[in-house]
Structure 1
Amino acid sequence: MDSETLEPDPAAAALPMRGEFSGDARVRYALVLTESELTVQNLGTGRRKSGAVTVLDLQDCIGCRAYGAEDGAEDGADTSAGFAVYFYPVKRRWAGLSSAPGRRRVERRFRVAVSPDPRTNLEEAQRWAGAIRQGSFRRSGGVCAEVRRPRRFLVLINPQSGKGQAQALFNTHVQHMLQEADITYTLQITERQNHARELVREADLSQWDAVVIMSGDGLLFEVVNGLMEREDWEKAIQMPLGVLPGGSGNALAASIHYYSGSQSVSGEELLVSCGFMLCKGLVSHMDLTSVCMASSPRLFSFLSLAWGFVADVDIESEKYRHVGAARFTMGTLVRLASLRVYKGKLAYLPAEESQSTPSQAQSTVSFTDGSNSSSVHSHMSRNLNCQNHLLHNSCNSNNAHKPNWTGESPVTTRGPTDSLLVPLDQPVPAHWTVVKEEDFVLVMAVYQSHLAEDLIAAPASRLKDGIIHLIYVKAGISRRALLRLFLAMEKGAHLSTNCPFVVYVKVRALRLEPFSPKGTITVDGEVVEYGPVQAQIYGSLARIIAG
């Protein structure tokens, strides 16, 4: 599960490389390979010359395969070899008067016939393929740490997610990309709720180098919590996780695409983008948030905690799942028609305040790219007092053996100790901020940029900023103003509307106590126990494959 630093390939040491090869229709090409680019010049067919030049960025390359004459020759006397290169550059697809940016597949094949000896030709093709692959691993700053090679992935697909097309989308768009990137994988179709959670909780994770989720955000929620329920949770949560959007929300997938600096895309364009990042295999750290309730084992969240309008829309729009991402738009309009007010108490630890608090040193688990994972794990154990696996958890010291909120068999709650929180039956610490208002339209705590493909809830958020972006809307806002707020959220501009009913603050921990007898609280879009809830963030606790 540990990442490795790739060793330079001796075949790629002597750059730039130059050569002349034939391609389709016997056209000759002159190739020049540098550390960052493959330049292809069209030399024509012999009688007809052409000087057209194409420059391909190796950062857009996911793989290169060498092959001998036996792989494609119709005549057994053919002694040539060849190599195929797979690029996914960002291009625009024009549809009517509009255009959509996205990654488009570009495959280039070159025939190598430098010798009458087939072995010599194959070795030359392999030399070029190895050098191109090595160049595709590089980025500014040198060779990067990534998922080790050869790469073996466990791919989990929820066939019911979104419009029920996740498996078909995987077969159509992702399967061939993994083959081009020389990634082997084990495919597991989930059969029921919490199937993935149980699987990763019990599995021998050493079989794979990453766990990939093709679904909405719900399946990743299962995987994260399954990993955190293992006895070896410290090591297990370091397993790189990959996300492929196959649901209706796809918030984390959209966030990862957003963090890469690419223009906004959705649907199949987003899937190809995430598939590309998966094939590149670059690993980043990701924050997780510990969420504690009154009588349920605590959960670990990667996306959001919501109460009020947002939570209601998320759950009530399930009936519109067949329309995909548009379900949230429909749910928003329905809920706006009968706007509710929720009574409760909200308190939080501001990020600036917590930085000056000695206990904050225990609430953030930081890792350094390329660090020795075993020493990190032991350091984390010492700093976070995890030896008792939360038998004295400040959130709820007696819930470790109670049935969890899903109704499964009891499992022991594990993970780092929540040093910023006190038990729910005690007042929050004196240095916390208590919100005076008690009437809310919504409260949402988010730790990724997106709440859905088309909702940028926290544009300033990053994968490992160690911050909960707390947004709440006070009662009194009009339906029209709330609608404008959500329309602005599509562009991430809602925090610049200067609406007096909207409050945004960066925090490290929070507590929410609903007073209204009925309501919904969601964690990563999943309904949890309704009642008092509190949370604190852990910086860089998990790892995610991202651009």
Structure 2
Amino acid sequence: MASTAGDDDPFRDPSATPQPPRHNIDVPDTLVVGRNASLTLGTDSLVLLDEDLLDSKGAGCCGVSLPGKDNPTRAIPFYNILWAEHSEDGNVTIQYAQTAAKKAVRPAIISYTLDKPDSRLAEAWIAKLLDRAYGTSQRQKRIKVLINPFGGQKGAMKIYHKSIAPILAAARCELDVQKTEYQGHGVDIAKDLDIEAYDVVACCSGDGIPHEVWNGLGKRSDAARALNKMAVAQLPCGSGNAASLNFNGTDNPSLAALAVVKGLRTPLDLASVSQGDRRMLSFLSQSVGIVAETDLATEHLRWMGSARFDIGFLVRLLGKTVYPADIAVKVEYDNKAAVREAYQTEAAKPPRSVDDRPLPTTDAGLPDLKYGTINDPLPAGWELIPHDQLGNFYAGNIAYMSPNANFFPASLPSDGCIDLVRIRGDISRVTAIQTLLSIEKHTFFDLPHVDYQKISAYRIIPKNQKDGYISIDGERVPFEGFQVEVHKGLGTVLSKSGHMCEARGV
């Protein structure tokens, strides 16, 4: 189990405060590791200088590829440093994530035996290196790994062992691996999880297993505490990898594993969805119309990966299908100018290094619903407005839904709002195609036929349709009215910035 030195509170988040220096001596930035070699802590990289590399004829040395014919140096970003240690026989070993392809990494090793062993100096230098490499991110995370062998193209187990496990192991993470065996198994696992034994639940899956984990945590008697303590991460192994795209900044499994290793605890808004007598938690999106059909009516195209979403969206957009509904919303930012200002204000803030939320008590369950459920009378001040030409109703908490689908460019993980997009159905086919292309061009937000608001709650009731699709985080639910309410910062993820999605904003 990972230790937290100097910590008398077993519930304290180790990533909440910088870890204290582990040295009491003046530690130079440069560690001499041989007659012709040294390791230097630069501004943002570890710089290796080794004159022997000049004689290696480009073959590389100690796992380090030669950067140039006449260049004996190599720079490794601190972000890529996974671990470092010093042995009793004077050996210094550094493990890092080396670029293996255009969009992938793999573990590599630098190893030197010191000519003049000084264990005190070497250990202090390594501590300084790890301080630079991790900052306030928790080291040696204790990770409950859930692998869904049925999702996407059914290759999650192979992806985990080939691309993910080596990175996590090199970073000295503590791993407890379990396969999901049936639909809803993630719910059952999270309900019974020992939240004091782990720091992260990492889902090797699509977005379905994270959805199950959050709902399993939400069913506990200590739901508020469990949702706060347990960070939920996605390691992309499915056809829908939105959680990884938004918080790891990638849908590549090895790069996502590196992002989890270095990830900062980040509050995430979760939304309660009430439908009938049911209440579920949503972390991603709720949709009625084009996007819901694009997701749920293309299950037979799973073999295509994420391309199925693009094809499904285009087919329905060209068909100019409408999905009439009555909608009432609790608006917080009612126009694009206000939404843009709110986003840019948050984006201007520096990376958030401290999760300063108070830890809920052990008897705190899910928050009460301020606006009741779909079965209650319409809340005061709300008005159901007919939308008979509705082409799409799409509410989302984070930006990306698939690699090229940044539907919510102004989304913020913890602003107490979900972003609402409504596309009118009475547009020409040319405009429909331009709408699809605008998502990749990052001009979707400014289209005149796209309404964009930030809201904190809403009710939607489909009408004049016998059946259809409603998607909650990509999961199909009955085709009937539902109500949604946002809970600010109820959940926890890991992200690079501590407060933003890894997406181009507005």
1:67 Cα offset (Å): 4.2
What is the aligned counterpart of 1:241 among 226, 232, 246? Answer: 232
- Equivalent of 2:246, from 248, 255, 259? 255
In structure 2, the CA distance between the partners of 1:184 and 1:106, relative to structure 1 (3 Å rule), is: closer
* 8 A contact 2:105–2:255 mirrored in 1: no
Residue 46 (structure 2) pairs with residue 64 (structure 1): no
Cα contact 1:448–1:462 (8 A) shared by 2: yes
Once residues 113 and 352 of structure 1 are traced to their aligned partners in structure 2, the CA distance between those partners, rounded to angstroms, is: 61
Q: Does 1:426 align with 2:377?
A: yes
Q: How does 1:73-92 map to 2 (within 5 A)?
A: 80-87=90-97
Q: Which of 126, 129, 134 is 1:129 aligned to?
A: 126
Structure-2 change in CA distance of 1:125 and 1:179 (3 Å): farther
Aligned to 2:115, the other structure's residue is in SS state coil
1:54 matches 2:66 = no
- Letter of the structure 1 residue corresponding to residue 32 of structure 2: E
**2:253 equivalent among 268, 271, 280:** 271
Quick one: distance in 2 between partners of 1:336 and 1:323? 20
**Mean Cα deviation higher: 510-519 or 12-21:** 12-21
Please state if 1:327 is matched with 2:327. no
User: How far apart in 2 are the matches of 1:328 and 1:372?
Assistant: 36
Q: Aligned partners of 2:127, 2:107: CA distance in 1, in Å?
A: 19
8 A Cα contact 1:424 1:532, kept in partner: no
2:287 maps to 1:302 = no
| Aligned partners of 1:12 and 1:131 also within 8 Å | no
8 A contact 1:458–1:492 mirrored in 2: no
Find the aligned partners of 2:218 and 2:417 in 1 and give their Cα distance.
20
SS of the residue aligned with 1:517? Answer: coil
Give the letter for the 1:158 counterpart.
N
Deviations 1:473-496 (A, max 9, x none): 223123332232122213432122
What is the TM-score of this pair, normalised by structure 2? 0.81
| Correspondence for 2:65 | none
Aligned mates of 1:438, 1:229 — CA distance in 2: 37
Give the number of aligned pairs. Answer: 453
Match of 1:395? Answer: none
| Cα distance per residue 1:311-335 (max 9 Å; x no partner) | 1111111101112111212323443
Q: Is the 8 A contact 1:455 1:491 kept in 2?
A: no
Structure 1 residues 167 and 51: alpha-carbon distance in aligned structure 2, compared to 1, 3 A threshold: closer
Pairwise CA distance, 1:352: 4.1
The counterpart of 2:455, out of the listed 507, 512, 522, is: 507
Distance 2:434 2:40 in 1: 53
Normalising by structure 1, report the TM-score.
0.76
Could you list the per-position Cα deviations for residues 210-252 of structure 1 after superposition, in whole angstroms to 9, with x for gaps in the alignment? 1111110011100000000001111111111121111101111
Aligned equivalent of 1:40: 48
State the distance in 2 between where 1:226 and 1:287 align: 16
| Equivalent pair of 2:318/2:433 in contact (CA under 8 Å) | no
Matches of 1:517 and 1:51, distance apart in 2: 70
What corresponds to 1:159 in structure 2? 149
**Amino acid of the residue matched to residue 537 of structure 1?**
V
Counterpart residue identity of residue 259, structure 2: M
CA deviation string 1:266-297 (max 9, x = no partner): 4xxx323321111114211111111111x232
Q: Are residue 417 (structure 1) and residue 368 (structure 2) matched?
A: yes
Cα distance in structure 2, aligned partners of 1:324 and 1:530: 26
Q: 2:172 aligns with which of 150, 167, 182?
A: 182
* 1:107 corresponding residue in structure 2: 108
Q: 1:281 to 1:342 in 2, by over 3 A?
A: closer
The residue correspondences of 1:428-507 to structure 2 (distance < 5 A) are 428-430=379-381, 432=382, 434-498=384-448, 500=449, 502-507=450-455
Amino acid at match of 1:55: A
The Cα of 1:425 is off from its aligned counterpart by 4.3
Q: Counterpart amino acid of 2:354?
A: D
* Identity score, percent: 25
* Residues 17 and 504 of structure 1: CA distance in aligned 2, closer, same or farther (over 3 Å): closer
Alpha-carbon distance between aligned partners in 2 of 1:520 and 1:13, rounded to the nearest angstrom: 64
2:107–2:167 Cα contact (<8 Å) kept = no
**Secondary structure of 2:220's match?**
coil
User: Which residue in 1 is equivalent to 2:343?
Assistant: none
Distance 1:51 1:524, change over 3 A: closer
SS of 2:214's equivalent?
Answer: helix
Contact 2:97 2:167 in 1 (8 A): no
Q: How far apart are residue 509 of structure 1 and its match?
A: 0.9
The separation in 2 between residues aligned to 1:472 and 1:532, in whole angstroms, is 17
Deviation of residue 523 (structure 1)? 0.4
Q: Which amino acid aligns with 1:509?
A: A
Tell me which residue corresponds to 1:28: 36
Q: Secondary structure at the match of 1:3?
A: coil
2:9 corresponds to 1:8: no
CA distance in 2, matches of 1:511, 1:534: 4
Task: Judge conservation of contact 2:144–2:202 (CA < 8 Å) in 1.
Answer: yes
Conservation of the 8 A alpha-carbon contact between 2:44 and 2:77: yes
- Aligned letter for 1:58? F
Deviations 1:435-456 (A, max 9, x none): 4433311101011001112210
Alignment partner of 1:544 is 2:467: no
1:173-212 equivalences under 5 Å are: 173-212=163-202
Q: Give the whole-Å Cα distance in 2 for the aligned partners of 1:54 and 1:106.
A: 16
Q: Which runs of 5+ in 2 are unaligned?
A: 1-10, 57-68, 335-351, 497-506
**Contact between 1:44 and 1:50, CA under 8 Å: does it hold in 2?**
no
- SS of the residue corresponding to residue 247 of structure 1 reads coil
* One-letter code aligned to 1:283: R
Tell me the secondary structure at the aligned position of residue 490 of structure 1.
Answer: helix
- The answer for unaligned runs of 5 or more in structure 1 is 69-78, 94-99, 139-143, 259-264, 354-366, 388-413
3-state SS of paired residue (1:465): coil
CA gap 1:492/1:291 in 2 versus in 1, 3 angstroms: farther
**Alpha-carbon deviation of 1:108?**
4.6
Quote the Cα distance in structure 1 between the aligned partners of 2:113 and 2:423. Answer: 65
Correspondence 1:314 to 2:313: no
Q: How far did residue 309 of structure 1 move? A: 1.2
How many Å separate the matches in 1 of 2:71 and 2:318? 63
Q: SS of the counterpart of 2:146?
A: strand
Supply the distance in 1 between the matched residues of 2:318 and 2:451 (Cα, whole angstroms).
Answer: 23
